[in-house]
Amino acid sequence: MRYVDEFRDPDAVRRLADAVLARASRSWTLMEVCGGQTHSILSSGIDALIAERVELLHGPGCPVCVTPLETLDRAQALAARPDVVLCSFGDMLRVPASRGDLFAARARGADVRVVYSPLDAARLAERLPGREVVFLAVGFETTAPAVAGAARWALARGLRNFHLLASHVRVPPALEAIAGAGDSRVDAFLAAGHVCTVMGTAEYAPIARRHRMPVVVTGFEPVDILQGALLAVEQLERGEARVQIQYARAVRPDGNPVARALLEEVFEVADRSWRGVGLLPDGGLRLRGPYAQLDAERLLPAELAGAPEPAECRAAEVLRGRIRPPECGAFGGRCTPDHPLGAPMVSAEGACAAYFAYRAAPEPEEDVA
């Protein structure tokens, strides 16, 4: 299969769904940990094809969604400075912080700009030597190499006015936390293919062994996901728990050595808070060595006080796979993509946005009083 249409072929999808149902002798719960997979599942309806035996549960697979509130508040504080130009990708500008989103900050007069790559922000700093340019850098290991490349480019040119507010997160510690939770319903993981394209699969093997949970590195099209589900179910039925690569057209066990070397040059592993998950040991990346001088935290005079999540937003439970988005009372009413309460309704990879786009919002109850 070389073309995308072949990975969306209805006949192939039905054959794979039938194979999953035929192989499963009991009910199994699989968690996909990529928002792109979640959107593919819901838009194609493949979850319904195998629901008789296999439940597909949505995990914290959206980097925008798991960026902690305090990071967004720091971005707001930096944007409020008259000497700062704050840059990021468009979806980050719509995620609610304590004082609204970054588009609201721009409406209050902040210089907030959408860019298409971290290098765009670094080049902007080169053109604006009298301003402090801050790039709000979020994402899994997939996007971190591009940020590392921009950091290396800026440092080589001696740009003292380019800064990174880095909130990169690492996927394996999140899987470890979910697998180790006492109330977890997950039997196996469908791991994010793009993350493993960069990092490889070595960090997932101990998780599979320790928790007796298969980890199948999976692509993003319906055929990919159903093949991944079939591999996971076959392992579960045989009592196995190991790492398999379904997404073999892109993933190698050692990942991308060039990208990994760049990450190790610019970043080091650090504890990191995930929105909805909490503080994860080794859960993120921070700037290391000479690159630490690019850290935008240096522009903040003091630690900002944390702020609570909106009480009616149940995004944290969605991100941990405890509930599905329609089970939140605000879903489709108080919380919509136009007026989001939480990050999963904002991002193109958020589970709440996916359910809103592809599954009808619940009808409001009639007032019988």
> Is 293 in the same domain as 330?
no
In a domain, 203, yes or no: no
In a domain, 269, yes or no: yes
Mean pLDDT value of segment 37-58: 95
In a domain, 289, yes or no: yes
> Is 262 in the same domain as 323?
no
In a domain, 280, yes or no: yes
In a domain, 28, yes or no: no
> Is 148 in the same domain as 96?
yes
> Is 268 in the same domain as 327?
no
**Whether the predicted pLDDT of 45 surpasses 50:** yes
> Is 74 in the same domain as 137?
yes
Q: How far apart are CA 58 and CA 74, in angstroms?
A: 29
In a domain, 115, yes or no: yes
Domain extent at residue 321? 315-358
> Is 282 in the same domain as 337?
no
> Is 260 in the same domain as 352?
no
Q: Could you count the other beta carbons within 10 Å of the beta carbon of residue 323?
A: 15
Q: DSSP per residue over 82-150, as a string?
A: TTEEEEE-GGGGGS-BBTB-HHHHHHTT-EEEE-SSHHHHHHHHHH-TTSEEEEEEEESTTTHHHHHHH
Candidates 157, 15, 34, 136; CA nearest to 86 is 136
Q: How far apart are CA 205 and CA 321, in angstroms?
A: 22
CATH value at residue 163: 3.40.50.11740
CB 349 within 8 A of CB 65: yes
pLDDT in tens, 57-99: 998 888 888 888 889 999 999 999 999 999 999 888 888 888 8
Amino acid, res. 36: G
**Whether the predicted pLDDT of 315 surpasses 60:** yes
> Is 354 in the same domain as 265?
no
Q: How far apart are CA 129 and CA 297, in angstroms?
A: 19
User: Is the pTM value of this prediction over 0.85?
Assistant: yes
User: How many domains does the structure of the chain reveal?
Assistant: 2
In a domain, 97, yes or no: yes
**Whether the predicted pLDDT of 142 surpasses 70:** yes
> Is 295 in the same domain as 326?
no
**Whether the predicted pLDDT of 367 surpasses 50:** no
